């Protein structure tokens, strides 16, 4: 679960590079959202219920944007996604490391699990 959450959410959210002018904007927005999620996890790693509450609040507040980014991500090729992830691998690694401890501690918390399901919903 260490890196799996970051990778799953990133692949779902990050649209990669599209021909359209907004591609970088969509990708950057997805990365910023992931960084915000990683901050919530890291900040609340010692209180799983609070982490779950904050993650759920974040997911609910940003549900429409996440849905839009996921839809945009479905329109790009695997090559484009790989190129985008390669370009941003350092940011992705930093997010993964930042969330690792919190997600390990709170993996079985019902509130955290519910938030993760929202993040990974298709």
Distance CA 99, CA 102 (A): 5
Q: How far is CA 17 from the centre of its chain?
A: 17
Question: Torsion angle, CA of 28/32/33/36, rounded to 10 degrees?
Answer: 170
The backbone torsions φ and ψ at residue 20, rounded to the nearest 5 degrees and listed phi first, read -65, 155
Cβ–Cβ < 8 Å for 112, 106: yes
**Is the residue at 111 inside a domain?**
yes
* 17 belongs to a structural domain: no
Q: What digits encode the pLDDT tens for the residues 54-76? A: 999 999 999 999 888 888 878 87
At residue 24 the predicted structure's pLDDT band, cuts being 50, 70 and 90, is low
Query: Is there a contact between 120 and 67 (Cβ–Cβ < 8 Å)?
Result: no
User: Do the domain assignments include residue 25?
Assistant: no
Residue 76's Cβ-count burial label (10 Å; 0-12, 13-18, 19+) is buried
- Bigger pLDDT: 8 vs 34: 34
- Residue 29's Cβ-count burial label (10 Å; 0-12, 13-18, 19+) is buried
Asked which of 43-57, 65-79, 83-97 is least confident by mean pLDDT, the reply is 65-79
Tokens of 41: 């996890």
For residue 89, being part of any structural domain is answered with yes
With respect to residue 18, please indicate whether it lies within any of the assigned structural domains: no
Structural domain boundaries enclosing 113: 4-8+33-120
């Amino acid at each position: 679960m260490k890196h799996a959450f970051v990778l799953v959410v990133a692949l779902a959210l990050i649209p990669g590079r599209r021909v359209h002018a907004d591609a970088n904007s969509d990708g950057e927005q997805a990365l910023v959202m992931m960084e915000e999620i990683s901050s919530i996890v890291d900040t609340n790693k010692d209180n799983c219920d609070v982490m779950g509450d904050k993650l759920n609040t974040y997911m609910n507040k940003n549900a429409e944007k996440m849905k839009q980014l996921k839809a945009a991500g479905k329109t790009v090729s695997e090559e484009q996604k790989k190129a985008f992830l390669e370009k941003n691998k350092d940011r992705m690694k930093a997010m993964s490391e930042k969330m690792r401890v919190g997600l390990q501690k709170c993996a079985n918390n019902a509130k955290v699990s519910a938030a993760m399901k929202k993040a990974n919903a298709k």
